[in-house]
Chains A and B, each alone.
Chain A
Amino acid sequence: MNFWLELLIKVGLALAIMLPVALVVIFGELKISAHMQSRVGPYFAGGRWGWAQPLADGLKFMQKEDLVPADADDRVYKLAPYIVLMGTLALYVVIPIGPDAVARDLDLGVFYVLAVSSLSTLGVLMAGWSSANKYSLIGGLRAAAQLIAYELPLVLAVIAVAVQAGSLSLNDIVNAQASFHLFGVESILGRDVTWISSLISPFMILQIVGLVIFLVASLAELSRIPFDMPIAESELTMGYLTEYSGLRFTMFFLGEYAGLVSMAAIAATLFMGGYSFPGVSEDVLNFLGPVILLSKVMFIAFVFIWLRWTFPRLREDQLQTIAWKWLIPAGLINIVATAIFKVAF
């Protein structure tokens, strides 16, 4: 097939799948938070369950005037949301949604994920500085400090997975989880026990420490409650988002949820076996793979929403303490333990 045509189809498909998924997660957040607080949540828009609420919100945001403060640095201010959105959307390139369905199976998949996701920090700092507003600047600084602190545990958790799988490519990591046999034991007392090892093969069992570190760190990377110091409403209005309105605010908003979906997809791929499922053969996975991956993504997104409506916001010093004194040492110990395990068995 023509290279450019293939590229166009892939980009179109990624946008056509991932943006509606982000809308579904927004709707889920509205409804789940409502039920957790004994409210009804959106009710009227679109008829049953108020399903059209995120669409209505999005259209409302887009209709509003795109304001630029008089003192703002015009070009930097306008460019910032694109950089944030680019950092999250570019992640979808390497996420495999089926045995043969991946936009580009990069040789250094996980490394690419970490490199690209670090770009959005730059966009946040640009937004905070160019708004010419003290709230925005402090919000941007807090976001940068937080993202720098939590980038490390994220990388450490990923390294342990890469060591166990023996590869950086996301496709290989999924395969390693699908074909991994615990300690190489295939039978005990003459009975076939490979089914047990196929059940516990996803890294969420053996890398449970890594999974917890990854989830906490990605919550912090997404600046979601309980890690939402950068946009803490009670003290910073809306942090680096304060001055944004209209389409650019929509981009930040959508970028936040697209980022949530991409982080959940990466966590599902690294720790929960991605598109694979114990006992499902490769031929079937080509059709069922996207559905399996999507349901895992939705599960992790539910956990993120659950945490958001359960915990209060952390203070800045508590937030930094968790990263530097708990997550990073735990991540280092996890890597050492994984390496010993890998060499020993």
Chain B
Amino acid sequence: MTDWITSPENWAFVLIAVPMVFAAFRAVTSPNVVHSVLFLVVALAASAALFLLLGAEFVAWTVVLVYIGAIIVLFLFGIMITRAPLGVETELSHSNQTKLGAAIVSGALFALITVTTIQGFGDAEVTASPTRTVEIGESIFQRFVIPFEVVSVVLLAALIGGIVLARRDPVEGDEAERSAMGSAQSANLTAEGGEA
């Protein structure tokens, strides 16, 4: 136990992990959807800090760039462009049944990740020296180049699929219909104006 207390890495871990768990918990329980996203930011930033603690600089800053800088901003953008209520939302409070289901699923997920991590790595020690970006680049583009390319093709397919699903091609005659409606409306307005 004294070993645990004297090494500064453990204290750094506690300082990062406790706010992370709190933020992750609040991200699910917060009554305001924007607050949930902001707590998710804290949790993601803490996970980036944990990667830094492990010497994985590249992964840490990728988490910041991709998750906080892009995905969270897209989340917020999507929420704010549709509806962004301030204060407490009553719609978001769930019944006990859904809470139980969510608890079971998250508990099972936690158990699965814990077991696989412990079985995978055992008590292997982490080397303290940071991984150089050059090494990561070499391993991605030499040893893992084919999986990397496959992943990029999958992402490209997802991108095109997203655009195809979201896009609505202008239908033939749509434009004429709209302008007809517009003129009808303006005719209505002038008629009402005339009556008044």
- The winner among B72, B81, B86 for most chain A CB atoms within 10 A is B86
CB atoms of B77 and A126 under 8 A apart: no
CB atoms of B80 and A118 under 8 A apart: no
The 20 listed contacts between A and B (C-beta, < 8 Å) are A73-B34, A76-B35, A107-B132, A108-B61, A111-B58, A114-B65, A118-B65, A119-B64, A122-B41, A122-B76, A125-B76, A125-B77, A128-B80, A129-B86, A137-B80, A141-B80, A141-B81, A144-B77, A145-B77, A168-B133
Look across to chain B and name the residue whose beta carbon is closest to the beta carbon of A155. B65
Look across to chain A and name the residue whose beta carbon is closest to the beta carbon of B65. A115
A132 interface hit (Cβ, 8 Å): yes
Contact residue among A71, A107, A114, A125 (Cβ-Cβ distance under 8 Å from B80)? A125
CB atoms of A122 and B73 under 8 A apart: yes
B70 interface hit (Cβ, 8 Å): yes
Residues on A with beta carbons closer than 8 Å to the beta carbon of B84: 129, 137
Q: What total of chain A residues lie within 8 Å of the partner, measured CB to CB?
A: 31
Which B residues are closer than 8 A to A by beta carbons? 32, 34-35, 38, 41, 57-58, 61-62, 64-65, 68-70, 72-74, 76-77, 80-81, 84, 86-87, 130, 132-134
Contact residue among A112, A122, A128 (Cβ-Cβ distance under 8 Å from B72)? A122
CB atoms of A76 and B38 under 8 A apart: yes
Within A81-126, the residues touching B (CB, 8 Å) are 106-108, 111-112, 114-116, 118-119, 121-122, 125-126
- Bound-state Cα–Cα, A151 to B73, Å: 12
Contact residue among B57, B65, B80, B134 (Cβ-Cβ distance under 8 Å from A106)? B57
Residues on A with beta carbons closer than 8 Å to the beta carbon of B65: 111, 114-115, 118
A273 interface hit (Cβ, 8 Å): no
Minimum CB–CB distance for B87 against chain A, Å: 8
With A125-B77, A144-B76 in contact, do A115 and B34 touch (Cβ < 8 Å)?
no
3 closest Cβ pairs, A-B complex: A118-B69, A115-B65, A115-B61
CB atoms of A111 and B133 under 8 A apart: yes
Minimum CB–CB distance for A320 against chain B, Å: 14
CB atoms of A121 and B61 under 8 A apart: no
CB atoms of A148 and B73 under 8 A apart: yes
Look across to chain B and name the residue whose beta carbon is closest to the beta carbon of A120. B69
CB atoms of B86 and A121 under 8 A apart: no
Residues on B with beta carbons closer than 8 Å to the beta carbon of A106: 57
A54 interface hit (Cβ, 8 Å): no
Residues on B with beta carbons closer than 8 Å to the beta carbon of A130: 86
CB atoms of B64 and A118 under 8 A apart: yes
Look across to chain A and name the residue whose beta carbon is closest to the beta carbon of B41. A122
Residues on A with beta carbons closer than 8 Å to the beta carbon of B41: 122
A331 interface hit (Cβ, 8 Å): no
Minimum CB–CB distance for B174 against chain A, Å: 20
CB atoms of B68 and A122 under 8 A apart: yes
CB atoms of B80 and A108 under 8 A apart: no
Contact residue among A116, A125, A144 (Cβ-Cβ distance under 8 Å from B64)? A116
- Bound-state Cα–Cα, A145 to B38, Å: 19
- Bound-state Cα–Cα, A54 to B97, Å: 60
A140 interface hit (Cβ, 8 Å): yes
CB atoms of B73 and A125 under 8 A apart: yes
- Bound-state Cα–Cα, A144 to B61, Å: 20
- Bound-state Cα–Cα, A96 to B77, Å: 35
Look across to chain A and name the residue whose beta carbon is closest to the beta carbon of B79. A129
- Bound-state Cα–Cα, A168 to B87, Å: 44
Residues on A with beta carbons closer than 8 Å to the beta carbon of B80: 125, 128-129, 137, 140-141
Contact residue among A71, A108, A141, A147 (Cβ-Cβ distance under 8 Å from B57)? A108
Minimum CB–CB distance for A147 against chain B, Å: 8
Residues on A with beta carbons closer than 8 Å to the beta carbon of B74: 148
- Bound-state Cα–Cα, A121 to B76, Å: 11
With A108-B133, A126-B38, A141-B80 in contact, do A121 and B73 touch (Cβ < 8 Å)?
yes
With A119-B68, A122-B41, A129-B84 in contact, do A112 and B73 touch (Cβ < 8 Å)?
no
Minimum CB–CB distance for A188 against chain B, Å: 35
With A128-B80, A129-B80, A141-B80 in contact, do A115 and B130 touch (Cβ < 8 Å)?
no
With A73-B86, A108-B57 in contact, do A141 and B69 touch (Cβ < 8 Å)?
no
Residues on A with beta carbons closer than 8 Å to the beta carbon of B86: 71-73, 129-130, 132
- Bound-state Cα–Cα, A248 to B139, Å: 46
